Amino acid sequence: MAVYFQEDKKIFHLDTKNTTYLIGMTPEGYIGHIYYGRRLYQEADSYLLRTAEAPFTPSVNKREKLSFLDSFPMEYPTGGIGDYRESCLNVRNPKGQMGSELLYLSHEIYPGKKKLEGLPASFGAEEEVETLEITLEDKILGLQAVLSWSVFEKEDMIARSVRIVNQGKDALKLEKVYSACLDMDNEDYEMINLCGSWARERHIQRAPLRYGKQAVSSFRGESSHQEHPFMALVSPGTDQQQGQVYAMHFVYSGNFLAQAELTQYDSVRMVMGIHTEEFCWNLLPGESFQAPEVILTYSGQGLGMMSRNFHDFYRDHMIRSIYNHKKRPILINNWEATYFDFDTEKLLQIAREAKKCGIEMLVMDDGWFGRRNVDDNSLGDWTVNEEKIKGGLKYLVDQVNEIGLAFGIWFEPEMVSPDSDLYRAHPDWAIQIEGREAAMGRNQYVLDLSRRDVVDYVYEAVAKILRSANICYVKWDMNRLLSDLGSSFLDAEHQKELSHRYVLGLYELQERLVTEFPELLLENCSSGGARFDPGMLYYSPQIWCSDDTDAIERLLIQEGTGFIYPLSTMGAHVSDCPNHILGRVTPFETRGHIALAGTFGYELDITKIPQEQRQMICEQTKMYHAYNDLVREGDYYRIASYRENHKYDVWAVASKDKQEVLVTYVQVLAEPNKHSRKLRLQGFDPDASYRLTGTEQVYSGEMLMYAGFLIECMKGDFVSRLYHFEKIQAEDKCL
């Protein structure tokens, strides 16, 4: 039983395999946080709520209610009543006054987990997850907040969300609705987040927690290149294998805030939810507002365990695609090969050469529709340009299929070019402020997905193309941010709902797409990795990791992404050199090894590269088939970080049964006069023996993990090597 209620002490127990989460209640009905950490096996006591010491609860000492509210460890704090830390819920009444106070009304414990209306969310069978719902009530406002904790016992995960219900007679304004809060005492925590920019997404950043508020956020209309909807607090000295980790991850693809606040009493409040910038939701009587989900995990065994918790959870309880546990086709995308300069024959030339090398899919990128020969026109006009695609799209797809490759296609459905038939017919469909010239990004505007007519148009435009030919894959792109937030559809009272309604419209589009085309391999993208978040994984099993395909820069990007996401979700390709963004030249072999830690594919003109590299593609596609099951399904271990040592990068993937382990070593910077490098590996069975593939060398698991493995010196910068170990069975040892 993962969830139970200790009636005598008014304590809720949430237990996973390795963790316990305790929620308590004061006599008045305030819901407080008692404990989150390693698994407890005895019945709990509520003394950690400190209700027996000053400033006491209001029923004991009403004259110091402000002091109580400003120090009590709330599970879901509200604003305007005297808790001066960050609130999770701000409600304004019809008189324009802001304040709410939520007290316990009822609770329910049930097996399974309910869907969140209109939102992506984790899922699980009744035997895999158990849910606690606590309903809180503000009787003065006629408002209820239904707090939900869904406990995934096997993965050590808790999914939190909140639904706000207006049970009163008056309309209310929700000016802030965060999804989760975690109040706890400070233990000299450090904060870890992921930051970056276009072409350098999700770099790991770590710093001591200071007094005051430290936040990461986006109000760009998407989760963004610059920040990521993730935050972790760690105890001092925490590394991959030891230390305490408290992590939150937001299942949402729009504006967000993740914040840690160190208070005057040396307590820490972590909150996460929809950013309040340009947000206000009008809640009419009888209506409800569902906030997105936050995923929590605790690891008492360092950052590596946190990563593996997230990986297992997202593979089993977030990604729905039929490709989730299947090998993805090796694709070649024509963008960096041709940009806009291609036609049917050029694509067929690429397809013929790709087939010879073991590549399995051709993806036609931007430039196939309207008058799209440059990026300043035609977005929104999703009709095939038959001057370029001679014979039409079905002819091209049939020819590619006859060669022996599957076919994929690129869309940017959320955008419209000012120079397009769609914009000339419906200028009001673009997000813009009336009377003000809207700013453009990449020569385009954003369509208003809060409008039903726009959502229906966009869906039919995409679906019509997919129905017309045997298209197996879609790359769904978004190449600019939201700005000039104005909707011609929403009235003045509802304009601040636009950003959230936009995301809901996006989710509806992709839900309709995967419902009509359940066998479609959907890959999301936003100028690379600007919308790489758990919300998008609900619809697509993979997301384009970054527009930067330089192998060495990808070490940092893929380390940060793999920190919380399964390797199978990271769109990673081998591209040409000099790299189109950085100009760096790296060995073709190294590019293949680094792309192997992702979905694997190619981003180059295979008809122009040297024959030697074409032969290497043949070898790399065989490598992919040999190791992808392990990379896709295995446990990920970070051995060493180029980000930290500035010289080399090492990671490993071990099968769940520890039968095999694949270690990838990348030497970024060669050093003179050095011996071989000794590394303590991870992921092995310490009681077993392993043979290094391609040799007769045998090692014990305990020696590899505790004594180390010698990596011989290699000449040159940017060189790499794979080490594949297979467990020796008992009968093999006797030979």
> ∠ CA(58), CA(61), CA(66), 5° rounding?
60
Answer yes or no: do 592 and 664 share one domain.
no
> ∠ CA(428), CA(430), CA(436), 5° rounding?
80
Distance (Å, rounded) from C-alpha 416 to C-alpha 441? Answer: 11
- Residue position matching structure tokens 């005051």: 212
Distance (Å, rounded) from C-alpha 509 to C-alpha 447? Answer: 13
- Of 576, 605, 633, the residue that ends a domain is 633
Residue 690, in any domain of the structure: yes
Distance (Å, rounded) from C-alpha 339 to C-alpha 321? Answer: 29
Q: How confident is the model at residue 220 (pLDDT cuts 50, 70, 90)?
A: very high
421 SS3 class: helix
Distance (Å, rounded) from C-alpha 156 to C-alpha 469? Answer: 44
**pTM here?**
0.97
Q: Tell me the pLDDT tens digit for each residue of 549-583.
A: 999 999 999 999 999 999 999 999 999 999 999 99
Distance (Å, rounded) from C-alpha 582 to C-alpha 565? Answer: 25
**What CATH number is associated with residue 339?**
3.20.20.70
Tokens encoding 241: 């294998």
Distance (Å, rounded) from C-alpha 153 to C-alpha 129? Answer: 7
Closest CA to 589 of 556, 613, 622: 613
Residue 130, in any domain of the structure: yes
Provide the pairing of β-strand 172-185 with 157-166.
unpaired
Q: Tell me the pLDDT tens digit for each residue of 104-128.
A: 999 999 999 999 999 999 999 999 9
Distance (Å, rounded) from C-alpha 265 to C-alpha 77? Answer: 17
Q: Is 547 a catalytic residue?
A: yes
Tell me what percent of the chain is helix, strand and coil, each rounded to the nearest 5: 25, 30, 45
Distance of CA 402 to the CA centre of its chain: 37
Give the pLDDT confidence score for residue 1 in this predicted structure.
78
Residue 667, in any domain of the structure: yes
Helix (H) or strand (E) holding 201: strand 200-208
Answer yes or no: do 645 and 629 share one domain.
no
Average of per-residue pLDDT across 581-608: 97
Give the pLDDT confidence score for residue 97 in this predicted structure.
97
Number of Cβ atoms within 10 Å of the Cβ of 220: 21
Answer yes or no: do 617 and 660 share one domain.
no
Answer yes or no: do 377 and 392 share one domain.
yes
- Residue position matching structure tokens 């906030």: 291
**What CATH number is associated with residue 293?**
2.70.98.60
Residue 420, in any domain of the structure: no
Q: How confident is the model at residue 41 (pLDDT cuts 50, 70, 90)?
A: very high
Closest CA to 333 of 294, 370, 374, 362: 362
Measure Cα distances from 701 to 303, 450, 651, 685, 692 in Å.
22, 56, 16, 5, 12
Residue 500, in any domain of the structure: no
Give the pLDDT confidence score for residue 729 in this predicted structure.
80
Answer yes or no: do 276 and 149 share one domain.
yes
Q: Tell me the pLDDT tens digit for each residue of 299-319.
A: 999 999 999 999 999 999 999
Measure Cα distances from 132 to 107, 272, 296, 695 in Å.
7, 19, 15, 54
**What CATH number is associated with residue 691?**
2.60.40.1180
Average of per-residue pLDDT across 140-155: 98
Q: Is 477 a catalytic residue?
A: yes
Average of per-residue pLDDT across 586-610: 97
Q: Tell me the pLDDT tens digit for each residue of 386-433.
A: 999 999 999 999 999 999 999 999 999 999 999 999 999 999 999 999
Residue 421, in any domain of the structure: no
Distance (Å, rounded) from C-alpha 462 to C-alpha 509? Answer: 10
Answer yes or no: do 643 and 616 share one domain.
no
Looking at the predicted structure, is the pLDDT value of residue 528 above 70? yes
Nearest 10 degrees: Cα torsion 397, 401, 403, 407: 60
Looking at the predicted structure, is the pLDDT value of residue 595 above 90? yes
Distance (Å, rounded) from C-alpha 112 to C-alpha 122? Answer: 11
Answer yes or no: do 626 and 679 share one domain.
no
Looking at the predicted structure, is the pLDDT value of residue 261 above 80? yes
Q: How confident is the model at residue 30 (pLDDT cuts 50, 70, 90)?
A: very high
Percentage of the chain modeled with pLDDT above 70: 99
Distance (Å, rounded) from C-alpha 128 to C-alpha 130? Answer: 7
Answer yes or no: do 629 and 672 share one domain.
no
Answer yes or no: do 44 and 181 share one domain.
yes
Specify the number of domains making up the chain: 3
Give the pLDDT confidence score for residue 673 in this predicted structure.
83
Give the pLDDT confidence score for residue 732 in this predicted structure.
58
Residue 324, in any domain of the structure: no
Distance (Å, rounded) from C-alpha 363 to C-alpha 361? Answer: 6
Average of per-residue pLDDT across 262-267: 96
Out of 316, 477, 576, 635, the active site residue is 477
Residue 718, in any domain of the structure: yes
Average of per-residue pLDDT across 659-670: 97
Give the pLDDT confidence score for residue 407 in this predicted structure.
98
Out of 83, 381, 547, 548, the active site residue is 547
641 SS3 class: coil
- Of 572, 598, 633, the residue that ends a domain is 633
Answer yes or no: do 300 and 356 share one domain.
no
Average of per-residue pLDDT across 179-190: 97
Measure Cα distances from 577 to 302, 407, 545, 673, 728 in Å.
38, 25, 19, 30, 40
- Of 266, 293, 317, the residue that ends a domain is 317
Looking at the predicted structure, is the pLDDT value of residue 733 above 60? no
Would you say 526 and 543 are in contact if contact means Cβ atoms under 8 Å apart?
A: no
Distance (Å, rounded) from C-alpha 677 to C-alpha 710? Answer: 5
DSSP, res 207: E
Distance (Å, rounded) from C-alpha 438 to C-alpha 432? Answer: 6
Distance (Å, rounded) from C-alpha 426 to C-alpha 439? Answer: 18
Q: Tell me the pLDDT tens digit for each residue of 333-379.
A: 999 999 999 999 999 999 999 999 999 999 999 999 999 999 999 99
Would you say 683 and 721 are in contact if contact means Cβ atoms under 8 Å apart?
A: no
Looking at the predicted structure, is the pLDDT value of residue 735 above 60? no
In sequence order, the 6+-apart residues with CB closer than 8 A to the CB of 97 are 80
Q: How confident is the model at residue 731 (pLDDT cuts 50, 70, 90)?
A: low
Q: Tell me the pLDDT tens digit for each residue of 42-91.
A: 998 989 999 999 999 998 999 999 999 999 999 999 999 999 999 999 99
Answer yes or no: do 687 and 550 share one domain.
no
Distance (Å, rounded) from C-alpha 695 to C-alpha 705? Answer: 20
Answer yes or no: do 247 and 281 share one domain.
yes
Q: Which domain holds residue 663?
A: 639-733
Q: Where are the beta strands (DSSP E) in 589-681?
A: 601-603, 635-640, 648-654, 660-667, 677-679
Distance (Å, rounded) from C-alpha 50 to C-alpha 72? Answer: 8
